[in-house]
Amino acid sequence: MPVDASPPLTTYAQREAALLASYAMPSTASRGRKYPEPEHPYRGPFQRDRDRILHCSAFRRLSGKMQVFTGDMGDYHRTRLTHTHEVASIARTIGRVLKLNEDLIEALALFHDIGHPPFGHAGEDALDECLHAHGGFSHNRFALTLAEELESRYPAFPGLNLTLEVLEGQATRADKDAAYAACGEAPLLEVQVVETADSVTYDAHDTDDAVKLALVSLDELARCTLVGEALTHVRRQYADLRDDLLRKAVVHQLIDRQVSDVLHTSAAILAEAHGMTAQEIRRSPLRIAASRELCDQKKELENFLHERVYRHPRLIAVRRQAQDRLKQLFACYCENPDLLPAHFQDRARQVGLPRAVGDYLAGMTDRFCERQYRVLVEQRPAASLEM
């Protein structure tokens, strides 16, 4: 009889016990899922969450959703999907150095923007207006609706049946103050890392994309201390860089500078947390943080981006058109519910027609939304809409 000479598998619990800090959230301490499931033989609960998010439809549709700039402005800039991967990458880097639970961090990061409707924050504002009398719309809350109700992938339960830690982390994003007030505890450190990584990521890539799209110049952006110092740092290393390489080197430096600051600041704070558990540190004042200097520099850059990029005339025009189209589509589906796919007609009977229409629209990619607008609003004769 052959002897099985393969070494025993290291369990995720053993791996985490060897690698994680006391204040990391261990997989073995997860409060589990709404619908209890047997343990997986070699994947931990947060790793399974990460995989479930990666394989769900809403995640793939992020490739067709804009971050800040629309698809017809070019192919270089970030989509909601590439933004999400950049956040996950930066969050993992921070989490690994601080010895936090990388599986939980990655699940939270891949999940964090999954509820974004088409056309970014412009689309979110339009849907919020449409649903004003019915509780409004928030992409952070819609992520929970997707994960708990709308995604349909498993025969045994609705939604993705994610762990309570991932759902709670997302709920914190939806309403930070309410979540804190409800339990009197700060979010898990892993949740805080993803929040921080999101900010590091968009400050760096919006700078990159805005310069690439010629909405502002690097020299104009360099009036902000954070970019100015990054530019000086790069020029000191490389005297005569081509413009595109200079821009990219500055973006690398922007990420490096921010991540290094967060790591040094947070490591100094966490040095006081020796021996604390994940729950104990939530009840303490110790947080993942950037230095005061970096926070001020980021604020300066974000104010600049807000004024000169997010409110650029090219983006304002896109924003207005997108909002107008979403509102017209919302009205069209509300007046003609038979145009909704069958399962959203069923959903309308459970949650009311306006919410079901909002859910359907929120799940659309920018492309699909524009196509529906052309077919249902532009090309459809008014009389047929009333049938």
7-36 binders of Mg ion (CB under 5 A): none
Contact letters for Mg ion, residues 324-363 (x by CB under 5 A): ----------------------------------------
Closest approach, Cβ 378 to Mg ion, in A, equals: 32
Q: Please, what is the minimum distance in Å from the beta carbon of residue 83 to Mg ion?
A: 6
**Binding residues for Mg ion, how many (CB under 5 A)?**
2
Distance CA 230, CA 253 (A): 6
Q: What x-and-dash track marks residues 94-133 binding Mg ion by CB under 5 A? A: -------------------x--------------------
Beta bridge partners of 261: none
Q: Give how far Cα 174 sits from Cα of 43, 170, 185, 186, Å.
A: 28, 6, 16, 14
| Pick 173 or 347: Cβ nearer Mg ion | 173
- As a three-state string, the secondary structure of 291-358 is CHHHHHHHHHHHHHHHHHHHCCHHHHHHHHHHHHHHHHHHHHHHHCHHHCCHHHHHHHHHHCHHHHHH
Residue 214 CB burial class (10 angstroms; 0-12, 13-18, ≥19): exposed
Site string for Mg ion, 188-207 (x = CB under 5 A): ----------x---------
Binding status of residue 208 toward Mg ion by CB under 5 A = no
Residue 310: both structure tokens together: 């997010």
Q: Are 193 and 95 in contact (CB under 8 A)?
A: yes
Cβ proximity to Mg ion, 68 vs 213, nearer residue: 68
Least Å distance between CB 10 and Mg ion? Answer: 33
> Residue 345 and residue 380: Cα distance in Å, rounded?
20
**Which residue number, 113 or 203, has a Cβ lying nearer to Mg ion?**
113
Q: Which is nearer to Mg ion, 46 or 111 (CB)?
A: 111
Please identify, using beta-carbon distances, which residue of 16 and 49 lies nearer to Mg ion. Answer: 49
- Which residues here bind Mg ion, judged by CB under 5 A? 113, 198
